[in-house]
Amino acid sequence: MCGIIGYIGKQKASPILINGLLRLEYRGYDSAGISTIEPEGLVVMKDKGRVKNLYNLKGIKDLKGTIGIAHTRWATHGKPSKENAHPHQDNSKMFSVVHNGIIENYNELRILLENNGYKFYSETDTEVIPNLIHYYFSKDTIEENNKTKFLRAVRNACLDLQGSFAIEVISSLFPENMIVVRKDSPLVIGTSDDEKYISSDIPAILSYTRNFYFLNDLEFAILTSNSVEFYDTNLNKITKSVQNIEWNASAAEKDGFDDFMLKEIYEQPTAIRETIGSRISTDYSCDIEGLNFDKNYLNTINMIYIVACGTAMHVGLSAKYAFENLCKIPTQVDIASEFRYRNPIINEKTLCIFISQSGETADTIAALKLAKKHGAKTIAITNVIGSSITREADYSLYTHAGPEIAVASTKAYTSQLILINILIIYFAQILGSCNDSLLLDLKKEILELPKKLEETLKCDTQVKSFAQKIYQEKDIFFLGRGIDVATAQEGSLKLKEISYIHSESYPAGELKHGPIALIENGITVISILTDSKLVEKTISNIQEVITRGAKTFVVTSQKMNYNMFDEVVKIPETNTFLSPILSIVPLQLLSYYISKGKGLDVDKPRNLAKSVTVE
């Protein structure tokens, strides 16, 4: 939610900031703004709408300052407007601030400040921050006017804030410095010899540096172009080491594809190959670096919770089948925002697995903290090294999908699926809970999957031409049985997100208990059939909708009479537990081409943002 970028160095800041904002637009795109330190003081320029509106503002190209902060907004408090866009300033225009997150007690703080003579010009929660900094700065009676006083004012202001925040502050009084801080909202500092780049997301600044500092909650960094000092909440100096990120800059470019989403769909064979890595070796041994579970411990687990949001939660729905069948451990899948408020039964015999591409999803992190508080062991599956979730979880397992830029998740999903299946195999192997030949078959299949995924992508043209027939529809249904229900849910979510077509997904056998009332002549029903044990039953359910006039699109790895259906996409056969990794691909492409057919912005669908760092 919202993107933050900052620069402090020797070059003009504004082009670097605009470039960074363009890369961050997938985090929010309601309005954008920048503030730089110019010879005459702080300058703020902002506008409603996309970054290109900001870029076209008169005077923006004349900015010469070499220190600046910038923001692209996903509105929470206050409608998208120029007034509500960041940066915000205090009344005396001494401080400029950009902020990601939500200040929960902003009303209370606003009243306090108003009682002290401060005026407010926006509807945002953020505007309290620069004014609070000014309040503490002007009240500070210590006879010094150096960066320590600046830091103290920012620290005092932050201690008053409840909620989540990643903040950048610059001041006309301290033209050499920038202060940044975070709590429950991502912020990274990229560093090279005499330049510093700040961002809410690694990919936005990957073309400048691969060396990063990661801040923990309520750690403050005070930057100059060639130094970064870190402080804890008590303003004691702390040391941090630089971490090198392996992602290369071109991974965050479109590389000739029209959209990031299509590029990322096509990157899936590589992404899963990288994620498998050496976790399953060619001699079919399975090991997960960083995990050292033994049979005694695994035997004590009486419940596995898989907790996540959206697409990541659908990974859990697929994995539940394999955990229960192969490891014989009861497994429950929870939506993170529900889990945290439903008093789940958690104790030291519970294992909780949290899945999050970004590693920054507020609900998932809150659920993780809750699980830890009740004594559960926690594993995070994430794509982003150094993300918040990795600092909270007992164990962090990384997918190696590379940066995922499109809002609609594709390669992260299939990488998460492969990783969780490897985890399941690792558990089953230690537990001895399923027969060796099945485990061997699964390992062999996993090593085959990158090739099978490449094969699956060949359905592109077929799917595209079907999308051209149905892109104007208003409602589309997705059906599946068993593990295919999870794929139906994910296919339906993908379609909603980027095509704005209403869609429902149902277990095929549930249809006749209500939803079949919605089936009418010409409606499209998409079915996924990968489980040989259930295929006949699903076909019967499809017959029921055909009888009522539905158009049918089938994704299957199974042999059957294809003539019954309007369109059949044949995908390679694999073990049922792994089949969602292949069966989702035609559905990703279908959503993509429907969205393109409607002329929509595939990568930046309305109302959505890539990383949901608010509750």
Residues that bind ligand F6R (CB under 6 A): 309-312, 356-358, 361, 364, 408-409, 493, 497, 611-612
Q: Which is nearer to ligand F6R, 179 or 261 (CB)?
A: 261
Q: Which residue has the tokens 């064979």?
A: 269
Cis peptide before 87 (omega within 30 of 0): yes
Amino acid symbol at 224:
T
Q: Which is nearer to ligand F6R, 90 or 259 (CB)?
A: 259
Which string of b and e fits 101-137 if b means at least 16 CB within 10 Å?
Answer: bbbeebeebbebbeeeebeeebebbbbbbbbbbbbbb
CB of 611 to ligand F6R, least distance (A): 6
CB of 214 to ligand F6R, least distance (A): 17
3-state secondary structure of 378: strand
Q: Which is nearer to ligand F6R, 358 or 556 (CB)?
A: 358
Q: Which is nearer to ligand F6R, 14 or 356 (CB)?
A: 356
Which string of b and e fits 494-507 if b means at least 16 CB within 10 Å?
Answer: bbbbbbebebbbbb
Cα(2)–Cα(73) distance, integer angstroms: 4
DSSP classification of residue 215: P
Q: Which is nearer to ligand F6R, 542 or 612 (CB)?
A: 612
Asked if 104 and 165 count as a contact pair (C-beta separation under 8 A), the reply is no
Q: What is the DSSP string of 8-39?
A: ESSS-HHHHHHHHHHHHGGG--SEEEEEEEET
Q: Which is nearer to ligand F6R, 280 or 589 (CB)?
A: 589
Cα(352)–Cα(336) distance, integer angstroms: 11
CB of 379 to ligand F6R, least distance (A): 15
CB of 312 to ligand F6R, least distance (A): 4
CB of 393 to ligand F6R, least distance (A): 13
Active site residue 352: no
Those residues with Cβ within 8 angstroms of residue 424's Cβ, 6 or more apart along the chain or in another chain = 319, 322, 323, 326, 327, 577
Rounded to 10°, the helix 411-431/436-456 angle is 170
Measured CA distances, 306 to 44, 323, 335, 336 (Å): 44, 10, 9, 9
Measured CA distances, 357 to 277, 362, 381, 395, 521 (Å): 18, 12, 8, 15, 39
Query: Considering 2, 309, 434, 459, which one is annotated as catalytic?
Result: 2
- Alpha-carbon dihedral angle through residues 90, 95, 99, 105, given to the nearest 10 degrees: -40
Q: Which is nearer to ligand F6R, 503 or 611 (CB)?
A: 611
DSSP classification of residue 87: P
CB of 612 to ligand F6R, least distance (A): 5
CB of 72 to ligand F6R, least distance (A): 18
Measured CA distances, 392 to 151, 183, 368, 373, 456 (Å): 27, 13, 7, 11, 37
Query: Considering 263, 411, 494, 610, which one is annotated as catalytic?
Result: 610
CB of 354 to ligand F6R, least distance (A): 9
Cα(403)–Cα(359) distance, integer angstroms: 12
Active site residue 459: no
**Residue nearest ligand F6R, CB atom distance:** 310
CB of 314 to ligand F6R, least distance (A): 8
Q: Which is nearer to ligand F6R, 356 or 557 (CB)?
A: 356
Contacts 24+ apart (CB under 8 A), 245-250: 245/202, 245/206, 245/210, 245/211, 245/212, 245/385, 246/210, 247/202, 247/203, 247/206, 247/210, 247/402, 247/403, 248/206, 249/206, 249/207
Q: Which is nearer to ligand F6R, 161 or 412 (CB)?
A: 412
Return the active site residues. Answer: 2, 610
